[in-house]
A and B are shown apart, each in its own frame.
Chain A
Amino acid sequence: MLHMQFIIGLISIGFFIVTFEFIRKRYLREEYAILWLLTSLAIAVLSLWPGLIDIISRITGFYYITAILIVIFVFLIAILMHYSIVISRIKDMNKELVQRYALLEYKIKELEEKKNLK
């Protein structure tokens, strides 16, 4: 049991460091990184306080490992859904920008041609 606790603790620390590095190197924006920081924190809490699992299972009625897997699965699905929404929004903004850019570029060329004719 102690062995497992130690491994989970290491995972949480590693997870935290990686997330922190990604923010520092600006691969990740803070608003999206908070989720991952909280996740690593949650893992850390579980490794330091294994009794918490018992308490959670008593409150929620999830006693079996499969039930816990379902919770994790739902959590991951929620994250993926969130990213799909973000990507859709960014794609839409990108489309608007590309169109506006192209129309403005045409306008500039047109103005330059007019200027050259004078």
Chain B
Amino acid sequence: MCSRRRIAVVIPAFNEEKSIGEVVHSIRGLGEGFDAIVINDNSTDRTTEVALKAGAVVIELPCNLGIGGAVQTGYKFARDRGYDACIQVDGDGQHPADQIPRLIAPLFEDGYDMVIGSRFVTDSDYEISFMRLVGIKVLSFFLKITTGMDVKDTTSGFRAINRKVLELFANEYPQDYPEPESLVFAHKKGLRVKEIPTRMASRMYGKSSITPILSAYYMIKVMLAMFIDLFKK
């Protein structure tokens, strides 16, 4: 890859003091051109201090906006600072930094607008609950019949976007269920989306925000939101 390119690694973080240092550190290990940008979504712990110490740019939200609003803040920052591409990485350590160049490469080499790191791959040590797996499959099927898009891991937050999409998302980004909803958005804008299998780690700390009991309810809400997105102006 060209060494002149600047990549913004956007890390939305809410109370991730235990894992954020390691995440930032591993991104810094990628070398020149990769900047770790932590968006602290009004955490009550020491996320900011730990991230700063590890060498990240830290932007602190004065109110909790949720993942969509936090990621969009990062996109706005990257847009204003002239980054060439952006990659979203979770603050809990489940997205290994060594996979970042793999996700970025198709943007520049094959002209894709968005690349999604998918956890469905054999050598992944990512453990997934049965309900979550069913949910992801249903969402994937729903996306397929409504838009024709072929994305297996619709809720993956590990995704890279080029400058064009960066500008689009900085202006308008779904707030409620940003991962699946932004796929519908991408479809409507005619973006080229690629999904590549990615090794993922189990969460170092904390639990998924989606509990099994709530996942059916979550799925219905997400599908409804995606369906409505299809008709949004």
Contacts and interface: CB of A to CB of B under 8 A. Distances in A.
Interface residues of A, number: 9
Q: Which of A94, A95, A102, A103 has the most CB of B within 10 A?
A: A102
A93 B58 CA distance: 23
Contacts of B62: 98, 101-102
Given A103-B77, A103-B80, A95 B69 contact: yes
A99 B57 contact: no
B82 to A, nearest CB: 14
A106 interface: yes
A99 B63 CA distance: 9
Contact of A103 (B59, B65, B175): B59
Contact of A98 (B57, B65, B80): B65
B118 interface: no
B73 A94 contact: no
A104 to B, nearest CB: 10
Interface string B66-100: 00010011001100100000000000000000000
B60 interface: yes
Nearest to B42: A98
Interface string B44-59: 0000000000000111
Contacts of A95: 65, 69, 175
Contacts of B175: 95
A103 B60 contact: no
A98 B61 CA distance: 6
B72 A102 contact: no
A105 interface: yes
B129 to A, nearest CB: 31
Contacts of B57: 106
Contact of B69 (A99, A105, A106): A99
